[in-house]
Amino acid sequence: MSLFEGQGILVELHLLKMDHNSYKTTYANKATAEKGWVVVDASSQVLGRVASEIARIIRGKHKPSYSPHVDCGDHVIVINAEKVKMTGKKWTDRVIFTHSGYPGGQREHTPTLIRSKHPERLIEHAVRGMLPKNRLGSELYRSLHVYVGTEHPHEAQQPKEIKF
């Protein structure tokens, strides 16, 4: 029995039936995830805005093969960490807490103090707060490489430069 006989098109009815589901969802895993390398220049960029874009790239949300339970993001190299900006009075009014793990070991730091001693820690702290708080987040955090100045030791990976 055929359909559309009068129009010269012969389509068998049994060909119209689908025997299987052709819309299977595929998930990336550790073996199939393709991790690249990316360079981000943080000079004259607002800290929170650049940190959210870096966290998105580390997580892998910019890729069509994104899976929420797999590390499928790229390694991110951040250069010029000392030239990052903050809006308003955040340089003096914001307080960042650290704790040594010992009783009475809680310390308060302002971003100005942190920038004078270790400028890369401002970006590391901001990005880490935007990653998941579990084992996957700890693994994703290892994909972040922050450097003061324009030099970095990852030229062999041939990173691509991204502008925001």
pTM higher than 0.85: no
Query: What domains lie within the chain, and their CATH numbers?
Result: 33-162 (3.90.1180.10)
Local structure of 100: helix, strand or coil:
coil
Task: Indicate the Cα dihedral angle 130, 42, 50, 136, nearest 10°.
Answer: -30
Distance CA 151, CA 28 (A): 33
CB 80 within 8 A of CB 43: yes
Nearest-CA neighbor of 97 among 111, 110, 87, 107?
Answer: 107
Q: What is the pLDDT of residue 128?
A: 97
Does residue 2 surpass a pLDDT of 70?
no
Structure-token pair, residue 73 = 């993001």
What does the pLDDT look like over 115-154, one tens digit per residue? Answer: 999 999 999 999 999 999 999 999 999 999 999 999 999 9
Instruction: Give the CA diameter of the chain.
Output: 89
Does residue 18 surpass a pLDDT of 70?
no
Does residue 52 surpass a pLDDT of 70?
yes
Handedness of CA 125, 126, 131, 134 (dihedral sign): positive
Does residue 17 surpass a pLDDT of 80?
no
What does the pLDDT look like over 73-85, one tens digit per residue? Answer: 999 999 999 999 9
